[in-house]
């Protein structure tokens, strides 16, 4: 569907796995494998109690987020998205019409690198305050924030929410342990 408008894309029935829209093109996300699904579920279950206790916002798996400059908006579906309470839209919208505060992407073996890197760059340029890129194959997590140098976490490190999720932390080893159960 080259040259498709965002409005037309949003009228197309949802796909499984989800499709994303960028620059008039539609890209279907790779089908998650067991390590991907285990990590996604674990992070959702780990962040959930933190959010319930603090009330700082809400997290969702596979939430469609529509954002970007007018006329160049894109729609992405992060594996996990967090939105701060004060930014949560009012009403009964089906999708988030804003950048999430945190976008978590878990790499899949058949990920298209050029599309993936373009997505991460778009996140950082247009409002996402923190990005976690989780690589089950290398058991590493790249942490990126706009205007800051990215860094990589490995076994023995602790993943934190920084200014976006203050007080949240989880050992990297606990995240990747989910792939070995």
Residue 162 lies in a domain: yes
| CA–centroid distance for 127 within its chain | 13
CATH number of the domain to which 134 belongs: 3.90.1570.10
Token pair for 123: 């996140």
In this structure, the chain runs to a length of 181
d(CA 73, CA 35): 31
Residue 128 lies in a domain: yes
What is the model's pLDDT at position 1?
Answer: 46
Residue 45 lies in a domain: yes
Rg (CA), the chain: 16
Residue 9 lies in a domain: no
Query: From the first residue on, what is the mean pLDDT of each consecutive set of 10 residues in the chain (181 residues)?
Result: 78 86 87 94 97 96 94 95 87 84 94 91 98 97 97 98 97 96 70
24: left (phi over 0), alpha (psi -120 to 50) or beta: left
What is the model's pLDDT at position 2?
Answer: 53
d(CA 65, CA 68): 10
This prediction has a pTM of 0.92
Residue 16 lies in a domain: no
Number of domains in the chain: 1
Residue 26 lies in a domain: no
Residue 13 lies in a domain: no
Sheet holding 80-84, edge to edge: 57-61, 80-84, 102-106, 130-135, 140-144, 151-153
By residue range, what is the domain housing residue 41? 31-180
Residue 8 lies in a domain: no
Closest by CA to 60, choosing from 21, 18, 112, 11, is 18
Specify which residues 103 forms β-bridges with.
81, 131
- For 95-152, give the DSSP string: SB-S--SEEEEE--TT--HHHHHHHHHHHHHTT--EEEEEETTTTEEEEE-TTS--EE
d(CA 22, CA 167): 34
- 161 φ, ψ (degrees, to nearest 5): -90, 0
């Amino acid at each position: 569907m080259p040259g498709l408008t965002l409005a037309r894309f949003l009228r197309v029935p949802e796909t499984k796995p989800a499709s994303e829209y960028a620059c008039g093109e539609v890209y279907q996300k790779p089908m998650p494998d067991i390590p991907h699904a285990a990590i996604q579920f674990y992070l959702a279950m780990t962040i959930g109690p933190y959010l319930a206790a603090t009330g700082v916002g809400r997290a969702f798996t596979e939430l469609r987020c529509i954002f970007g400059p007018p006329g160049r908006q894109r729609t992405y579906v992060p594996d996990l998205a967090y939105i701060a309470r004060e930014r949560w839209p009012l009403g009964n919208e089906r999708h988030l019409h804003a950048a999430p505060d945190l976008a978590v992407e878990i790499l899949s073996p058949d990920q298209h690198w050029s599309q993936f890197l373009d997505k991460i760059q778009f996140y950082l340029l247009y409002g996402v305050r923190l990005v976690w890129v989780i690589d089950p194959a290398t058991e590493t997590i790249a942490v990126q924030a706009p205007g800051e140098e990215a860094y990589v976490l490995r076994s023995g490190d602790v993943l934190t929410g920084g200014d976006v999720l203050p007080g949240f932390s989880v050992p990297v080893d606990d995240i990747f342990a989910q792939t070995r159960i």
